[in-house]
Amino acid sequence: MFFRDYVPVLEVMADAIVASDPTDQVLYVNAAAERLLGWSRDELVGRPLTSLMPERMRPLHEAGFHRYISTGKTKIMGRPVRVPALRKDGAEIDIELTLSPLRLEGKSEIILASLRDLRDRVELERQLVAQQRLAAQHAVMAVFAESTDTLTAIRGMLRAIGENLNWPLGNFWQLAPSGRLERTASWQSSALDAAATAEFSADISFAKGEGLPGRVWASGEAAWIVDLAEDSNFPRQHTATAAKLHGAFAFPVVAGDSGVAVAEFFCPTSQAVDEELRATAQTLGRQIGQFMQRIAAHQELERAEVRARFLADASSALATSVDYETTLRQVAELAVPKVADWCTVVALDAQGYFRRIVVVHRDSEKRGAAVEYQEAFPPSQHRAGQHFEVFKSAKAVLQRQVSDEDLKAAAQDEKHLRLLRDLGCTSCIMVPLAARGESVGVISLMRCGASRPFDEADLTLAEQLSHRAALAIDNSRLFASLGKREQSTRFLSEASAVLNSSLDYEETFQKLTRLAVPRFADWCSVEIVEGDALRQVSVAHVDPAKIQFALEIQKRYPVSMSSPTGAPHVIRTGEAELYEDIPDELLVQATRDAEHLRLARELGLRSALTVPLSTRGRTIGALTLVWAESGRHYAPEDLPLMKELGRRAALAVENARLYSEAQRAIQLRDEFLSIASHELRTPLTGVQLQVEGIQRLIKKSSRTPAEWDVIAGRIDSVGRSFDRLSRLVEDLLDVSSASAGRLQLKLEEVHLSEVVHDVLSHFEDQLSRAGCALSLRLDSSITGKWDRLRLHQILSNFLANALKYAPGKPIEVTARRDGAKAVMSVRDHGIGVGAEDRERIFDRFARAVPPEHYGGLGLGLWIVRVFAEAMGGTVRVESERGDGATFTVELPLEPQAALSPR
């Protein structure tokens, strides 16, 4: 076949056909080609084929053509390629070119180029791409509009661009504190093999000018790589090949001053440079930068708002807390999760030890670990470690990044490390808690996992929180001091109760010192002056072994009364002594030798307070309080309480002393009375027996000379004196037995009238001698169960008083029954009893009259009262001074019934 045989077919084909010969000259064009290229067939035939191409394409074509002619190898033969063509009018049109060789018999090869007009399609495509880009831009905008944090926005942006423009992998690089670009976000389409791309871009950072991101950073311009495999500045080539990535472009994201960022996208095929996309990307980069700034600003605003709200919440919560620990607990609970993921508060307790008050974690699953952490790892008491540094310096610490190495360094042991890792810490702030310029603790705030690291703003917030907490702590301390005052008051009242509960002062002091420990002291002792020496009457400590130890020291090194410090000094001066601290020099000074010093040091004394036990200007001893192992200290404000305690203790001792002296005196008197009565009675008995015997002999005597009458009269007189003496002795005996509680009644059926007559007959002589007319009104039928002798004595004493104070005046004796009672009274018309004396005259040794005028022991009425009360009755006197007196005794008829318990 000849070429001309094909022409009719070629002529009718819709595609433009250009045939060229081996010299690369046009041999034939069909009608469609004429229309497409604007050349006539005659004009084109014989012209070089390159005249149908834009200038820039010609070297490429020539190179390929010659290679094909000489070697037969071809890149494009048989494969449609998209190339530009040059029309006669100079316009370039996009065509799809397919080359195919046509071998004719014996002839050289003809190349048929089929040109398909792509102008419509290109337009469509252009429009499509433009739409895609627009869609991508919209998507990016939507992402930024919806995002509240930069990281989410960036991830969304990578995805929006990647999906819309069909670049299935994107990375975002930001300038890190290291001064290099580090990847902060990435996205890849699920169409990519994740395993293959895993290594790509991992663990790499770029300096300015280095690699694709560095190149963009350096130039500030978007960059394009047609094929990564052929790029000379692409350090990730190896992993890119593994990930089967070829085409790439990247653009700068400029977020104001805050720094440089670069977005880059990759494609599995090599990509011709797309200037339009590059220009779009450049614009997009600026927009994204603005968005990022806006989000950051918004975030900052929001954080500021959160902070403000948080601080407001904190202030109101802290304002209402009243105790120290609750306050700190609230601080921690407020901080989590708004400020930190977890929080611990370490504070000095009342004993001066560091204690972890609270651990709060936002993650409820970590609560267990938090509790374990709090319980198993109390803060070091050796005052080492970071929290103590913060405590000591009162300066906050911000540790933006906390690495696992840091955790290892901080952990006390494996378990501690495991807990720290479990609780998690990637960023940390420690702020001191200071109240009135004094450090009281440390707040630690931790963030972990995906949380944003702390920054300066967080530190400021933490400091503000700490400041507010400090105010609250100050308040709660005020409350505590109020509480302490209340506690002090309670202690004083308890102490007073103890002091007054016993009149044995040694026992009192033992109770007192025990009461002070451990609330007000670790040690408490009382020293009392006895003669020229000092005696420790009590020492208290919670540990008996320690008391023993202290006693041993005292035994070996007794305190000298002349000591210039401590109890002897306080006793000498009457002034309290306060040692807020006990420095070692003080021990050296106060001890006598090396051994003494060693023992004293072993006691670990920290602070001491000695107050005098003074009353009425006399110092009888000293009370010493010591803080030792609890590490607490006395302050001047503790003095008033302890001085008051000392005063009360001294008063109690004085009272006890007075009481025991009085008791002793009473006891001595009773003993004396008892012995005296016994001793008096013995000779009385002899006298009485002899007098009575003589009287009997006289009566029996048959002879009655006048002398006998004289003798009998004298002996009667002796008998009367004897009776009086005898009654005095009996009174004394009654007093001593009654005051010793030994009064015993002999109750029997007694006719009151019998007793009255008996007594009156006994007094008959005395009454007439004293010139007292007696009138008697007696209800004769009164009987009761009484002690006859005591009843006798009651009436006798009444009558004896009447005779004594109203001689020469009439006396009325009445006895009547009043219901279940007998009422007996003796009325005289003597000097009477004043209102002020009416109660008193029934007391022991009480006398309403001056002893220089009236004798007597002052026991008569007291004995009446004791006897009457012993029989369940009462006594009273009705009288006005100068108008006589009526003494009345009321006795129940059945005293046993009246006395027996109901």
Partner 1 sequence: MCSRPGARLVLIVDDDLAIREALGDVLRDEGYEVLIAADGQDALDKLRQSGEAPCIILLDLMMPIMTGSQFYAEQQRDPSLRDIPVVVISADGNLRQKAQPFGGRYLAKPVKVDAVLNVVEQNCA
Residue found under tokens 């806006």: 294
Q: Which two tokens stand for residue 741?
A: 């509680």
Coil/strand/helix, residue 873 = coil
Sequence-separated (6 or more) residues with CB below 8 Å from residue 4: none
> Is the separation of the CB atoms in 149 and 295 below 8 Å?
yes
Nearest approach, Cβ of 680 to partner 1 (angstroms)? 8
Nearest approach, Cβ of 765 to partner 1 (angstroms)? 17
- Is the Cβ of residue 629 or residue 754 nearer to partner 1 in the bound state? 754
> Is the separation of the CB atoms in 15 and 9 below 8 Å?
no
Q: Closest Cα to residue 122, out of 110, 133, 114, 130? A: 130
Nearest approach, Cβ of 641 to partner 1 (angstroms)? 52
- Is the Cβ of residue 35 or residue 720 nearer to partner 1 in the bound state? 720
Give dist(CA 523, CA 520) in Å, integer. Answer: 9
Nearest approach, Cβ of 716 to partner 1 (angstroms)? 15
Q: Is 670 exposed, middle or buried (0-12, 13-18, 19+ CB in 10 A)?
A: middle
- Strand segments, DSSP code E, in 30-88 are 81-86
Nearest approach, Cβ of 769 to partner 1 (angstroms)? 22
Q: Closest Cα to residue 340, out of 306, 292, 372, 317? A: 306
Provide the 8-state DSSP code for 77: B
Q: Closest Cα to residue 536, out of 557, 577, 564, 506? A: 506
Number of alpha helices (DSSP H) and beta strands (DSSP E) in the chain = 27, 28
Computed from CA positions of residues 469, 470, 473, 474, in that sequence, does the dihedral angle turn out positive or negative? negative
Nearest approach, Cβ of 689 to partner 1 (angstroms)? 3
Coil/strand/helix, residue 607 = strand
SS3 string, 532-580, reads CEEEEEEEECCCHHHHHHHHHHHHHCCCCCCCCCHHHHHHHHCCCEEEC
- Is the Cβ of residue 670 or residue 869 nearer to partner 1 in the bound state? 670
- Is the Cβ of residue 681 or residue 816 nearer to partner 1 in the bound state? 681
For residue 518, is the peptide bond before it cis, meaning its omega torsion is within 30 degrees of 0? yes
> Is the separation of the CB atoms in 374 and 356 below 8 Å?
yes
CA dihedral of residues 616, 622, 623, 624 (deg, nearest 10): 150
Sequence-separated (6 or more) residues with CB below 8 Å from residue 815: 752, 753, 756, 777, 778, 779, 782, 822, 823, 824, 825
Nearest approach, Cβ of 726 to partner 1 (angstroms)? 6
Nearest approach, Cβ of 697 to partner 1 (angstroms)? 6
- Is the Cβ of residue 322 or residue 728 nearer to partner 1 in the bound state? 728
- Is the Cβ of residue 205 or residue 739 nearer to partner 1 in the bound state? 739
Count Cα neighbours of 93 within 13 Å in the Cβ-side half-sphere.
Answer: 21
Nearest approach, Cβ of 857 to partner 1 (angstroms)? 16
- Is the Cβ of residue 208 or residue 727 nearer to partner 1 in the bound state? 727
Give dist(CA 427, CA 446) in Å, integer. Answer: 6
- Is the Cβ of residue 608 or residue 755 nearer to partner 1 in the bound state? 755
Nearest approach, Cβ of 891 to partner 1 (angstroms)? 21
Q: Closest Cα to residue 438, out of 577, 640, 605, 635? A: 635
- Is the Cβ of residue 352 or residue 686 nearer to partner 1 in the bound state? 686
- Which residues contribute to the site for partner 1 (CB under 8 A)? 674, 677-679, 681-690, 692-693, 696-697, 726, 729, 733, 736-737, 742, 744, 746
- Is the Cβ of residue 57 or residue 687 nearer to partner 1 in the bound state? 687
- Is the Cβ of residue 687 or residue 718 nearer to partner 1 in the bound state? 687
Nearest approach, Cβ of 686 to partner 1 (angstroms)? 3
Q: Closest Cα to residue 164, out of 190, 129, 121, 123? A: 129
Note the residue count of the chain: 902
Nearest approach, Cβ of 699 to partner 1 (angstroms)? 11
Give dist(CA 687, CA 704) in Å, integer. Answer: 24
Nearest approach, Cβ of 683 to partner 1 (angstroms)? 6
- Is the Cβ of residue 384 or residue 675 nearer to partner 1 in the bound state? 675
- Is the Cβ of residue 208 or residue 681 nearer to partner 1 in the bound state? 681
Nearest approach, Cβ of 783 to partner 1 (angstroms)? 23
- Is the Cβ of residue 725 or residue 774 nearer to partner 1 in the bound state? 725
Sequence-separated (6 or more) residues with CB below 8 Å from residue 680: 725, 729, 732
Long-range contacts at 210-215 (CB < 8 A, ≥ 24 apart): 210/235, 211/235, 211/236, 212/236, 212/248, 212/250, 212/262, 212/264, 213/171, 213/173, 213/181, 213/250, 213/262, 213/264, 214/181, 215/250
- Is the Cβ of residue 655 or residue 688 nearer to partner 1 in the bound state? 688
> Is the separation of the CB atoms in 209 and 215 below 8 Å?
yes
- Is the Cβ of residue 543 or residue 679 nearer to partner 1 in the bound state? 679
Coil/strand/helix, residue 296 = helix
Nearest approach, Cβ of 899 to partner 1 (angstroms)? 19
Coil/strand/helix, residue 599 = helix
- Strand segments, DSSP code E, in 342-473 are 342-348, 354-361, 397-399, 427-435, 438-447
Nearest approach, Cβ of 742 to partner 1 (angstroms)? 6
Residue found under tokens 């001085």: 643
Nearest approach, Cβ of 687 to partner 1 (angstroms)? 8
- Is the Cβ of residue 590 or residue 687 nearer to partner 1 in the bound state? 687
